[in-house]
């Protein structure tokens, strides 16, 4: 059975002598793996289509275990991002997030469209930390891990007294319910406001927001910890980015 789908290339790796095993986030099928035959041969038309974080129209032949990628047409290469090492690293990080978060063959069209929008934003306008954090938050929301930020997840209390977030509980805790909890994160009013905006807002809104460095650092730490808690994975590219920043600073 043959089918086609627009696809975002998550990663590729060597497979046999002239083939590659390609992991993609496809619009119709969700995350899947396929074999690109003869990709290492000179003149292969598929070579440009399966570079990491490319957007391509791919043609598949469904197999018993792995699909065969028979043809492809490049839709967007995101050239500006590839010419900037920082943009490249963060685009690869987004692909790592998708690879470690998504189940196979589970279509997620909203997340697919969001991923394209974020890749386009990075390519056209450069890195914006809030846009990266927005992607992480929306990934959590669409996976079913939306954090409860407007009331105590235990007793329902609301108000300015809410400052502690429990990753295990998945929400804020009031002072009374925080007693005995030793794994909470303290969130300021600015951080809470930004996190709520990332849940309910959109890319256009986030592009206009200005946040303090302290708030951005706290939000990054919050989302990294929350993602690692629920996905039970660590993200190698994030550590690579940190090491390179230290080397270049």
Residue 94 CB: number of other CB atoms within 10 A? 21
pLDDT of residue 249: 63
Residue 52 CB: number of other CB atoms within 10 A? 17
CATH number of the domain enclosing 244: 1.20.1440.120
pLDDT tens readout for residues 170-224 = 999 999 999 878 889 999 999 999 999 999 999 999 999 999 999 999 999 999 9
Evaluate whether residue 157 is within a structural domain. yes
pLDDT tens readout for residues 6-16 = 999 999 999 98
Under-50 pLDDT residues of the chain: none
pLDDT of residue 240: 87
Count up the domains in the chain and report the number: 1
Evaluate whether residue 101 is within a structural domain. no
pLDDT of residue 245: 75
Evaluate whether residue 249 is within a structural domain. yes
Evaluate whether residue 16 is within a structural domain. no
Angle, helix 213-231 to helix 189-200, in steps of 10 degrees: 60
Calpha distance 75→58 (Å, rounded) = 10
pLDDT of residue 247: 78
Calpha distance 126→99 (Å, rounded) = 23
Evaluate whether residue 96 is within a structural domain. no
Q: Which domain holds residue 141?
A: 128-249
Residues 27-44 as b/e (b if ≥16 CB within 10 A, e otherwise) read: bebbbbbbbbbebeeeeb
pLDDT of residue 45: 83
Residue 58 CB: number of other CB atoms within 10 A? 25
- Give Cβ neighbours of residue 155 (< 8 Å, ≥ 6 apart): 174, 176, 177
Evaluate whether residue 218 is within a structural domain. yes
Calpha distance 92→86 (Å, rounded) = 10
Evaluate whether residue 18 is within a structural domain. no
């Amino acid at each position: 059975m043959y089918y086609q789908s627009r696809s975002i290339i998550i990663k590729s790796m060597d497979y046999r002598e002239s083939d590659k095993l390609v992991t993609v986030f496809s619009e119709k099928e969700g995350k899947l793996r396929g074999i690109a035959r003869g990709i290492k041969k000179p003149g292969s038309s598929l070579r440009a289509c399966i570079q990491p974080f490319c957007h391509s129209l791919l043609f598949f032949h469904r197999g018993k275990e792995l699909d065969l990628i028979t043809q492809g047409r490049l839709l967007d290469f995101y050239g500006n991002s590839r010419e900037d090492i920082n943009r490249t690293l963060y685009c690869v990080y987004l692909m790592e997030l998708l690879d470690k978060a998504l189940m196979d063959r589970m279509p997620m069209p909203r997340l697919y469209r969001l991923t394209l929008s974020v890749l386009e934003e990075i390519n056209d306008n450069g890195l914006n930390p809030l846009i990266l954090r927005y992607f992480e938050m929306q990934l959590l929301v669409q996976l079913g891990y939306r954090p409860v930020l407007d009331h105590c997840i235990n007793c329902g209390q609301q108000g300015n007294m809410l400052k502690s977030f429990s990753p295990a509980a998945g929400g804020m805790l009031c002072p009374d319910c925080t007693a005995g909890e030793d794994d909470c994160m303290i969130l300021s009013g600015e951080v809470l406001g930004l996190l709520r905006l990332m849940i309910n807002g959109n890319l256009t809104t986030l592009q206009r927001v200005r946040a303090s460095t302290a708030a951005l650092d706290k939000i990054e730490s919050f989302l990294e910890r929350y993602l690692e808690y629920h996905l039970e994975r660590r993200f190698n590219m994030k550590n690579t980015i940190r090491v390179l920043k230290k080397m270049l600073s």
